[in-house]
Amino acid sequence: MQEPRFMQIDGHTLAAFGYNEDIDSVPLVFLHGFTANIAYWARSQVPAIDERFRWYSLSLPGHYPAAFPEGFTDAELTPDLFARLLVPAIQELVGTQSVILVGHSTGGFAALLIAEAAPEMVKGIICIGGFVNGDWSGMSGRMQKQVMRGALGRAMVKVQLRMIGLHPRLLRSSLKYYVADLDAVSAWPELDASIADLFVYTRRLSTDAMISYLTQMPSISISDRLSGIATPTLVLTGERDLAYPRDESALVHEGLPNSQLVVLEGVGHLPMIEEPQEYQEAITTWLAEVVG
């Protein structure tokens, strides 16, 4: 695996991987979800993208090898922070070029905020299992509720988060909370290699940073911002997504003036590995319409 490219922005450390930088194309910028990292996209990529496009994997704030600055407080994690940090990070990667943003989960949420803040920079958005309301469900939602119970709850959540960084097998085991078809995921030929890539950084995940997300996100909603985002958007979701329910993706679609909604039947929160063929077809079809 390549070494990350680091960027210092407003006291924060952000990190990115660059791929196919010799290809002259519209750049794609991929944003991972909560507790994931920049290694997430290395093997879950759409082959047609890897053949045709220059692309980047960019960290969410606070997700190792990215880092919050010393003294960062929970209250500083606001919707505006995402755009304030990620817009200049993208500009550092691609200069003045416009980009396609591909965000999974919290990365999809962040992509919407980037497009709102810098519409001239964003040619299109692919929002995969994204949301407008940060009051989560599934395992992440249970952790949010635990954190709200005070010091003991926060300590318990930190133990849970540390567990997935103890061994790749435990990281792999955690997938059962996010997928609808575990057999399909287990059959994905890149699974073990992908887990190994992720684990390099998951084992050093900042539990304090994740507590900030779990504390702040339940009170965040960006539903009133969507009508001002005219960027062409593909909203892609799994019909059995229990991490961030399909209703959230429907709200994204309904709130945006220029979006398409694709629902993959029988699929959970990880469509790129649960149903890779349909996932790839949806993305390549949409990209052909937007990019050509």
45 pLDDT higher than 90 = no
- Average pLDDT over every residue of 79-91: 98
Please tell me the distance from the alpha carbon of residue 126 to that of residue 176, in angstroms, as a whole number.
24
Q: What is the reported pLDDT for 245?
A: 63
Mean pLDDT of the 190-214 span: 96
| pTM for this entry | 0.96
Per-residue pLDDT at 246: 64
What is the bridge-based pairing of β-strands 122-128 and 99-104?
Answer: parallel
Model confidence at 50, pLDDT cuts 50, 70, 90, reads confident
Domains of the chain: 5-290 (3.40.50.1820)
Mean pLDDT of the chain: 95
Tell me, letter by letter, the H, E, C secondary structure of the chain.
CCCCEEEEECCEEEEEEEECCCCCCCCEEEECCCCCCHHHHCCCCCHHHHHHCCEEEECCCCCCCCECCCCCCHHHCCHHHHHHHHHHHHHHHHCCCCEEEEEECHHHHHHHHHHHHCHHHEEEEEEECCCCECCCCHHHHHHHHHHCCCHHHHHHHHHHHHHCCCCHHHHHHHHHHCCCCHHHHHHCCCHHHHHHHHHHHHCCCCHHHHHHHHHHHHHCECHHHHHHCCCCEEEEEECCCCCCCHHHHHHHHHHCCCEEEEEECCCCCCHHHHCHHHHHHHHHHHHHHHCC
pLDDT tens, residue by residue, 221-245: 999 999 999 999 999 999 999 887 6
For the segment 108-135, the average pLDDT, to the nearest whole number, is 97
What pLDDT does residue 242 have? 81
Share of the chain above pLDDT 90, in %: 92
pLDDT tens profile 266-290: 999 999 999 999 999 999 999 999 9
83 pLDDT exceeds 80?
Answer: yes
